[in-house]
Amino acid sequence: MMCTFCNNLEEMGISCNSLVENENYCYNHKNYCYKTNECYFNQIVCGIQQLREELLSSQYKSFFLVYQPKLDVKTEKVHSVEVLTRWQHQDYGVISPIDFLKIIKQMGNQYEFDLFIIKKSCKEIKDLLGYIDNFSVNVSISTLNQVNFSNAIENILEEAGIRPTYLTVEILEDENISDYKNVALNLNNLIQKGIRISLDDFGSGYSSYYRLLELNVSELKIPKEFFQENFEFTSKNEKILFGIINMCKEMGIQTVAEGIESISDAQYVKKLGVDYIQGYYYSKPLKKESFINYLTNQS
């Protein structure tokens, strides 16, 4: 049964983010939570259930795409774009992937959702191909582990009339996979079709990425934690970063520094020798019309 509670959430100080974060805590400590704050406990559980039911009933119609450019580090001109997803919720407003992907994963709908977003991206991106050379979409490692995923991608591209060489698949490591047989098979099939492969958030899952680096990937994304101001810029850390980037150059893998938020971030990663840069310092993720204006103003 649908629970109508959202109008009371602000009064209780409950946000969508807190719903997702606190659901697991409430279930793990449900006796304590229920006894000490029965109303809060019920709101958390009921809120997550409502979000799940809305996801199922809406068939993802409330999701929209935003576009964040990747710039050539030498020219600071747009080279390609990453397509990202947001959920426009009638009560919570815009919900970020950090929150809704947890719910989708819990529902077991990650594969279905990833294919939906890829199809939506291919449909919308056609108007932008005159401005950019390539676009990337995020795909979870669990989706890559599905049999025939590469065939599904080929069918989506063919239906949209988009050449495979325009697409980059960014791999998100969202869970541990014990058997990489299907992952390797899908990646090799995608590469043979001309699709580029990018490793997102390099360093967040060393053992898994170690295996993936053995494959013929095209791009490696270095997360902001490696170079932002709170990072300890020691000689040792800098040598590690240089080593990663130089290793990629020798392997023919392009590097992207993501999460650039200040001029000091930009100057530092330029010194490191990355190929591309991305982040709020250059542009936040934009809706399609705003992104076209951004591209037009650059040219």
Find where tokens 């959430």 sit. 9
Q: Report the pLDDT value the prediction gives residue 17, as an integer from 0 to 100.
A: 53
Is pLDDT of 234 > 90? no
Six token digits for residue 53: 């039911």
Q: Which of 39-43, 232-236, 269-273 has the lowest average pLDDT?
A: 39-43
Find where tokens 């259930």 sit. 49
Q: What is the pLDDT of residues 37-95, one digit of tens each?
A: 444 444 444 556 777 777 777 778 889 999 999 999 999 999 999 999 998 888 778 88
pTM of the model as a whole: 0.81
Q: Report the pLDDT value the prediction gives residue 280, as an integer from 0 to 100.
A: 96
Alpha carbon distance 109, 106 (integer Å) = 8
Percent of the chain with pLDDT over 90: 44
Dihedral (CA of 11, 12, 15, 16) sign: negative
Query: Are residues 170 and 139 in contact, defined by beta-carbon separation less than 8 angstroms?
Result: yes
3-class SS at 288?
A: helix
Alpha carbon distance 168, 183 (integer Å) = 16
Is pLDDT of 22 > 60? no
Alpha carbon distance 52, 20 (integer Å) = 11
201 vs 204 pLDDT, higher one: 201
Six token digits for residue 39: 């109303």
Query: Are residues 55 and 104 in contact, defined by beta-carbon separation less than 8 angstroms?
Result: yes
The length of the chain in residues reads: 299
Q: Report the pLDDT value the prediction gives residue 210, as an integer from 0 to 100.
A: 62
Q: How confident is the model at residue 174 (pLDDT cuts 50, 70, 90)?
A: low
Find where tokens 């994963």 sit. 105
Q: Report the pLDDT value the prediction gives residue 119, as an integer from 0 to 100.
A: 97
Average pLDDT over residues 14-22: 52
Q: What is the pLDDT of residues 109-128, one digit of tens each?
A: 899 999 999 999 999 998 88
Average pLDDT over residues 164-183: 82
Mean pLDDT in the chain?
A: 80
Backbone angles phi, psi at 204, to 5 degrees: -80, -15
Six token digits for residue 226: 């490696």
Alpha carbon distance 119, 98 (integer Å) = 21
Q: Which of 21-25, 259-263, 264-268 has the lowest average pLDDT?
A: 21-25
Q: Which of 130-144, 211-225, 253-267 has the lowest average pLDDT?
A: 211-225
